[in-house]
Amino acid sequence: MNTVNKKKVITRFPPSPTGGFHVGSARTALFNYLFTKQNNGIMYLRFEDTDKERSKKEYETDITNALSWLDIDYHGPFRQSERGQIYAQYINKLIEDGLAYVSDERGEGGKEIGENVRDSVIRFKNPNKKVTFDDLIRGEISSDTTDLGDFVIAKSIDEPLYHLAVVIDDHEMEVTHIIRGDDHISNTARQILIQEAIGASRPIYAHIPMILGPDKSKLSKRHGAKGVMEYKEEGILPVAMINYLAMLGWNPGTEQEFFTVEELISAFDISVVQKAGAIFSNEKLLWVNKHHISKMEREDFIENVEKYIQTEIKNLPQYSKDRLLKMADTLKERISSFGEITIMSKEGDLEFYFEAPEYFVQSLIWHSKKLDENHKHTETEAIKNLEEHIKFAIENLEKIDEKNFNSNDVKNTLWDYAEKEGRGEVLWPIRFALSGRDKSPDPFTLAEILGKEETLSRLNKALDKILKT
């Protein structure tokens, strides 16, 4: 673990509210949060919203909702759009000190800044020197600032550009550590020049690797990437998202892959974050999510399940919280995200738990007995065998005490008979009578979920069908 004791750690997460909140930004926020927490520091949320045309309140809301869902706490938010007077004071001081100047751009036909052409802008007077800084991840980084020339820092006294505003904000907020994506490395040299010009202390930098798609290009929607809140809607757990994002570009140096947030705060070490880009995999995210689902308490798990079950299922006659609780282990085995519960609802994979199924009696016949190649078994013979198997199940399951009507006791009651008569021939019709589906849990599990009364009711319904055939 990388801890800092000399000075109170202050970090910042400064997104631009100009688009949806994606996983790359979430991972940056998380790394700042983990580092800050383990050093008992504070993290500021600061909206870099000086782009008035593109910045939207709805994007701010998306960011704060996502951080709240991930349980990443912060101080703020603060907005650059509300700090204009502070920036103006620094711009005027830089001009007064001869460190910046109003540049007449008319000789060049006007300077294009953003979407506007300006007759004048404010330029920083570049000392044209070599800048070197130590990065916690990448070590020493040097660059010659001569090629930057006298770069623009503001459109006017009241309109600072990104590089100036971010340096002033970090100085005013006494930020000690800047943890951000490595696409900002190229910005660091000019920001250090501005820091020196305004008399700001230099923060410690840590540039984390980009998140990449499977083709190793920058992760984008074409790779299937989604906004963070879309993952919530699809039933990803916040602890799973945090666990997975933390492992993108970092690992503890052990075999451990699954972490709680508390474990991550303890184990995270910014100095061992890798330099190479990290590949984002939806399959790996689902794998991590499935693990965290498996560890959920039954009540908490079912509470999440109920959020994703369609209303049509909840309106079925036998729907109840008690039966859902009995289904918990079975559902845990089947899903990797809670969004799959909605899919199961739509595809008919949940109806039979809450409503007796309808089917033709021929569906109860084990497929190998319907009519084999040599025509050894006629349908009449198969149905006669069905009658015997279902009668045996009913007569013997009735003997099990209601309190002991669980999958083990049901299996023990039926197994020897199934082994003697043929497991498929006995267990297939029992399972189909209970579920009405070609694919469903085994009959022992289904019996426990449905309970003794409903299990016998469905088996008697099957027997009635057989007798009327």
For helices 407-421 and 423-435, the axis angle rounded to 10 degrees is 140
The set of residues, in sequence order, having a beta carbon less than 8 Å from that of 377 and lying 6+ positions away, is: 369, 370, 371
Within the chain, what is the greatest distance between any pair of CA atoms? Answer: 104
Token pair 């006494």: residue: 174
Query: What is the per-residue DSSP string for 257-318?
Result: ----HHHHHHH--GGG--SS-EE--HHHHHHHHHHHHHTS-HHHHHHHHHHHS-HHHHTSTT
3-state secondary structure of 120: strand
Amino acid occupying residue 395: E
Tell me, rounded to whole angstroms, the distance of Cα 57 from its chain centroid: 23
* Pairing label, strands 42-47, 75-79: parallel
Whole-angstrom distance, CA of residue 181 vs CA of residue 273: 12
List b or e across 283-298, with b for residues whose CB sees 16 or more CB atoms inside 10 angstroms: eebbebbbebbeebee
Q: Helix, strand or coil for residue 174?
A: coil
- The CA distance from 25 to 63, in Å, is 9
221 is in an annotated binding site: yes
d(CA 129, CA 150): 12
Say if CB 342 and CB 309 are below 8 A apart: yes
Q: Which two tokens stand for residue 15?
A: 């997104």
Annotated binding site for ATP: 221
> Which positions make up the binding site?
221
